[in-house]
Amino acid sequence: MSSAEWVGKVAFITGAGTGIGFGIARAFSNAGMRLALSYRNEEQRARCTHWFEERGREAPLWIKLDVTDRDAFAAAADQVVDHFGKCHVLVNNAGVSVFGPTDEASYADYDWIMGVNFGGVVNGIVSFLPKIKASGEGGHVVNIASMAAYLSGPQAGIYTASKFAVRGLTECLRYNLVPYGIGVSLVCPALVATDAALSALKRPAAFAGSGFAPVDEAQIRQFATAFENGMDPLEAGEKIFRGMAENRGLIFTHPEFAEDFKDIYETSLAALPDEVAPPERLEVERMRRAANKAALEGAKIGLADLT
């Protein structure tokens, strides 16, 4: 679809009261889309609402939502369709950024971070995909991951695991939705000027039993100053909109990672055994590649297509 074809389309964006989510909301509004936005606190909602009002834009439908609450997510999907009549776009953006040595993490750490960053995406897909399909007008699913979906490090093990999971789910989902005219994009932003680093200060009581050291607020706030050098959220949102309009399966917003990807490529190739694979295994992989290509051309692929 061209950019103009998105005018009037309805999008639901999670975590839209701040950061990248609000950047996406502004970019979508600038493109003429109609919006339903999830948020967590009233101060965020009031601040963001003012942006739409001062530009004479249609007021978004605001829905207070904890993305880990499956019943609330299902109710949000119903509310969006009741309000607009249909929904075309789902943007799974809400997430938490929590850091600490992975070897010290507790079950509570895993449950909280994975529950929001991966579970929230799952809840969005299960709740909204039937609505998007039902419109019969196609649409798009945009899952916001992170460069951590490709790049790992010593302080973000669970966060990285959650983003790797979002990446895998998104890449597979893209094959499934082509027959419905629904595109799927994986977005991997890097440093953006947001308050994401302060997630540890907002930890829910239900997940209080962290294996990490007690939060040092001064240290966290010092770390958060790095985000001041990040990309403007609206710039990220505009790049995400363009990628969606072009139906790109992978959207990178930042250019500064060529060195990392070169290293990933070379390391991966070097790790492959230097030997010839037997013909029967080569045929299995040929069929897999052919099935993937056919799926992207609109075929529904079943297990019979893989053997």
pLDDT digit string, tens, across residues 66-82: 999 999 999 999 999 99
Q: Is 265 a catalytic residue?
A: no
Do residues 187 and 282 both lie within one domain?
no
Predicted local confidence at residue 50, as pLDDT: 96
Predicted local confidence at residue 215, as pLDDT: 83
Give 34's contacts (C-beta < 8 A, 6+ positions apart).
Answer: 8, 9, 10, 11, 58, 84
Do residues 194 and 160 both lie within one domain?
yes
C-alpha 80/C-alpha 15 separation (Å) is 15
Predicted local confidence at residue 220, as pLDDT: 83
Predicted local confidence at residue 202, as pLDDT: 87
**Ramachandran angles phi, psi of 91, nearest 5°:** -115, 110
**In contact, 23 and 49? CB cutoff 8 Å:** no
- Residue 267 falls inside a structural domain: no
Token output for 166? 């979002």
- Residue 193 falls inside a structural domain: yes
Do residues 76 and 189 both lie within one domain?
yes
Do residues 164 and 68 both lie within one domain?
yes
- Residue 268 falls inside a structural domain: no
- Residue 35 falls inside a structural domain: yes
C-alpha 90/C-alpha 302 separation (Å) is 26
Check residue 136 and give left, alpha or beta (phi > 0: left; psi -120 to 50: alpha).
left
Range of the domain at 300: 273-307
- Residue 264 falls inside a structural domain: no
Number of domains in the chain: 2
Token output for 252? 């990178």
The single residue listed with the structure tokens 């969606």 is 244
Token output for 199? 């997630």
Do residues 245 and 212 both lie within one domain?
yes
User: What predicted TM-score, i.e. pTM, was given to this entire model?
Assistant: 0.95
Do residues 118 and 146 both lie within one domain?
yes
Do residues 227 and 89 both lie within one domain?
yes
* CATH, residue 161: 3.40.50.720
- Residue 239 falls inside a structural domain: yes
**In contact, 23 and 237? CB cutoff 8 Å:** yes
The single residue listed with the structure tokens 């072009």 is 246
pLDDT, tens digit, for every residue of 200-236? 888 999 999 999 988 888 888 887 788 888 999 999 9
Do residues 187 and 284 both lie within one domain?
no
Predicted local confidence at residue 248, as pLDDT: 98
Do residues 48 and 8 both lie within one domain?
yes
Grouped pLDDT means (10 residues each) for the chain, 307 residues: 90 96 98 97 94 96 98 98 98 93 96 97 98 97 98 92 98 97 98 86 90 86 85 98 98 98 98 97 96 96 88
Do residues 109 and 238 both lie within one domain?
yes
Q: Write down the catalytic residue from 107, 150, 159, 265.
A: 159
